[in-house]
Structure 1
Amino acid sequence: MTLKQLKYALALGRLGSYIGVAKSMGVSQPAVSLQIQALEDELGIILFDRSTKNVEPTLNGIAFLEKAQSLVTESKQLEDFAIQLSEEIQGEVCLGIIPTLSPFLVPLFIDELNKKYPRIKIKIQEAITENILQGIKTGIFHAGIISTPIELKSNLDLVPLFYEQFYLYVSDKHELYSQDKIDISKLDFSDVWLLKEGNCFMDQVTNICSARPNQNGNFIYESNNIDALRRIVEYKGGITFLPELSTLMIPSEQEEMIKEIKGKKKVREISMVSLKTEVRLNLLNAISQVIKESVPSQMLREEDKEIVKTNFIEK
């Protein structure tokens, strides 16, 4: 049994096609078939059902592939560990960041990270929480930055980075525009534009006020983009919710549209998530420290803030 065979088997389980595996791994289709067959012969079990159009794992195959994924991930970590034995902070990190955070956070810290740690090669990809967690477990991501708290079931570790306050963004045509702080209980939610269902930010807003998306009239707008909703408010009227970092990039002529929510500050906890066995902890710690130095200092304090729960449960 070889790591190459395990990687082929995992790719076949994921793609369901020998041709797809061959293309993705830069080898011939017969080579893939021979390696998979040799693996099954050695194990004495059938890993894949080939009787259907798409090749699918058998019940034994599903159990085997789950263990194989752990071994392949750990083998990659062993390779990386050799690099990390050096005292110098260097290496490659692939980081997943949720879409409601990435466009506002990355510009704040990336230049400072490159200046302070020029030998860290960082690749950042926007992804929803579910895909980030799955990507960490399968080795696509080394870590992720997500909104927490969430309910975890696997070998993952969460480290809080900062606490981002929720704000309202109110059209200058709206009756609440003149107020500096707004009582959530006074909102008419037919005026409120929200993100598409299934987004953690949307979940947290729902937990704040039991709001539902604006679907009045003949215009319905679904988006996973914070800036898109902000522009809808500017041109169509109404109200939306904004995370704190997004407010730092709003032009000065629109700053009066930003309103605080009355009562205790409601925030979302932003955390770094990675495998408990991740060998790049020195790199992740360096990135985390630069992020903390880059965000406004009041966002680092948890005191006197209400952390809004998400509804996310790891599958």
Structure 2
Amino acid sequence: MAVSDWALLVLLSVVWGGSFLFVGIAVKELPPLTIVALRVVLAAIVLRLVLAVMGMGLPRERSVWLAFLGMGILNNAIPFTLIVWGQSHIASGLASILNATTPLFTVVVAHALTTDERLTGQRMAGVVVGFAGVALMIGATAFEVRDASIPAQVAVLGAALSYAFAGVFGRRFKAMGLAPLPTAAGQVTASSVLLLPLALLVDRPWSLPLPSAGALLSVAGLALLSTAFAYILFFRLLARAGATNVGLVTFLIPVSAILFGGLILGERLELRHFAGMGLIGAGLILIDGRLLSGLRASRLSSSA
């Protein structure tokens, strides 16, 4: 990748890492469904405005909107809600590390549901090493029923699994001939239609105490920066550097999330959390394969 591509990748990791900070602030005053509904509704408005400025529109076919709804459920409604609820019990940095298991789940889901993305021995080793990191982070407290952090950690892992299914489900949009930006706008629009009435019914936000300016600004940052702006960055980088290179953002998101959580929220992670993150990173390196391939090529060239 060019230097400018790396700059975009780092910026994207900071923007997505910041989502855990925004959630960590907002969840202290607002219920999860309200946060998620505001996130997708505001992001949908912004992305629709971007489409209008670019002279682009959304398709009207029923089959496409059903696909948008499915993607909105798997890529927005389920994972956003699980992460926000999880962060009401665990630190934002830990949530970001657990969320980094998404590629591990994706390898397994793709193997089960597709014919062209099969598990190899090296990828399987990466999955095993990565999930060993997850087990290390959760630790022996998983056997203590009274520990409220365990369901929260499982919820964030559930979000990562939902993202994995979304990755496989989203392959159909390329076959439909849809551009990435309308796909992003379509999915957040569909999830908005689903989540807004649900949040109004369950949370009755008009009956809640008025949130502070910090909470409102965090929700705005979550929607405008970590969702709408992040999608624009993501699809621009996707077009310039390709899907494999964009996947490197997974390595960087926990770094910025942990820094934000420590510097701004005063969170502290234990040694086992960092050790678990190291194992997850090692698993992702095995799954990605490029580093090992480069090392093998270097050895062959040096011995020739």
TM-score, normalised via structure 1 length: 0.23
Write 1 or 2 for the structure with the bigger share of helix.
2
Write 1 or 2 for the structure with the bigger share of strand.
1
Q: Which has the larger radius of gyration?
A: 1
TM-score, normalised via structure 2 length: 0.24
